[in-house]
Amino acid sequence: MIELRNLRKTYGHGPRAVRALDDVSISVPAGEIFGVVGRSGAGKSTLLRTVNVLERPDSGTVTLDGTLMTGLEGGALRQARRSVGMVFQHFNLLANRSIQQNVEFALEAARVPRGKRASQAAEMLDLVGLKDRGGAYPAQLSGGQKQRVGIARALAAKPRVLLSDEATSALDPETTESILDLIRSINRELKLTVLLITHEMDVVKRICDSAALMENGAIVEQGELVEVIRTPGSKLAAQLFPLAAPADDEGPTVIDITFAGGTADRPVIARLAREHELDVSILGATVERIAGTQAGRTRLALPVAGEAAAAVVADLRRQGLIVEYLKGGAA
């Protein structure tokens, strides 16, 4: 369990001061995958580095599985950090050491006795699908394989928490998928709590249970993905399901219907056309699996306005769908 409470961090002083963390609170239940998204400079890296107190917040607390990390210093902090593994965008492997040695090095740093390091490293390489590659050097591996080593190294000391800093941002889409699937399976198998930062919405959609959106150091929205999608006006949902803005000549009414969970597979549009005898046009649609359920958004142009449009919207809402007006109508 990761518990971040009222974290604040300002870099610099006076007119040049940058508020990198502005009263940030997040809690990630044990075994969950939580994603933090936001633009460059929003404060994501600073937030991630405070979790193992590589960056000390000016105020606020970090608690990991009941241990108050922000209350520790020196040797006690170094020891507590061993329960946190970290994966980086650029892998950060030691080029002049073999894969096996790279993982063993992490075990040495975590004070694992010498006699146990080789077998524990081999076990981790097996877990990430690199069983027979222990003798290879980083330069001989693909980007995806390097990140697998990065993950093996992060897991070597058997942490409870995994922090991922843009782990897939340097990888192509196919490799990204396989690394995300690996993180997901490790999360389930080892019951790891994962906090990841990313600028890729596909990462969030593929593996996160919950997510937060950061802007200017503050969390502007957070929640379980399925709830976020159901929240009218959600900025995060709009980023997860971007649809092009409607053109001026569409309408007179344009609405967004969001489907989540049980409502996703109903023939909503066919019913609308039949029962309201309307010729609706689909302007855009996206349907995906999110956090294990089907979810998506459909943008429709209705050929009616005023009360006729309101009746259609009320009918959709009665079916448990989330409907927002983009053009015409009342909220």
Ligand X SMILES: Nc1ncnc2c1ncn2[C@@H]1O[C@H](COP(=O)(O)OP(=O)(O)OP(=O)(O)O)[C@@H](O)[C@H]1O
Task: Give me the residues that bind ligand X (CB under 6 A), please.
Answer: 11-12, 18, 20, 38, 40-46
Do residues 194 and 211 make contact, with C-beta atoms less than 8 angstroms apart? no
Can you tell me which residue has the tokens 């039949």?
274
Taking the complex as a whole, how short is the minimal distance between the CB of residue 60 and ligand X, in angstroms? 15
Nearer to ligand X, 165 or 209 (CB): 165
Nearer to ligand X, 200 or 288 (CB): 200
Nearer to ligand X, 16 or 114 (CB): 16
Nearer to ligand X, 45 or 294 (CB): 45
CA distance 300 to 199: 28
Do residues 22 and 45 make contact, with C-beta atoms less than 8 angstroms apart? no
Nearer to ligand X, 104 or 165 (CB): 165
Q: What are phi and psi of 222, to 5 degrees?
A: -155, 155
Other residues' Cβ atoms within 10 Å of the Cβ of residue 325: 15
Alpha-carbon Rg for the chain in angstroms: 23
Residues in CB range of 129: below 8 A, 6 or more apart: 148, 182
Nearer to ligand X, 44 or 205 (CB): 44
Do residues 127 and 155 make contact, with C-beta atoms less than 8 angstroms apart? yes
Taking the complex as a whole, how short is the minimal distance between the CB of residue 194 and ligand X, in angstroms? 17
Taking the complex as a whole, how short is the minimal distance between the CB of residue 298 and ligand X, in angstroms? 32
CA distance 199 to 37: 6
Taking the complex as a whole, how short is the minimal distance between the CB of residue 268 and ligand X, in angstroms? 37
Taking the complex as a whole, how short is the minimal distance between the CB of residue 263 and ligand X, in angstroms? 34
Taking the complex as a whole, how short is the minimal distance between the CB of residue 188 and ligand X, in angstroms? 27
Nearer to ligand X, 41 or 284 (CB): 41
Taking the complex as a whole, how short is the minimal distance between the CB of residue 104 and ligand X, in angstroms? 30
Can you tell me which residue has the tokens 């006076």?
14
Taking the complex as a whole, how short is the minimal distance between the CB of residue 16 and ligand X, in angstroms? 9
Taking the complex as a whole, how short is the minimal distance between the CB of residue 98 and ligand X, in angstroms? 31
Nearer to ligand X, 13 or 318 (CB): 13
Nearer to ligand X, 45 or 175 (CB): 45
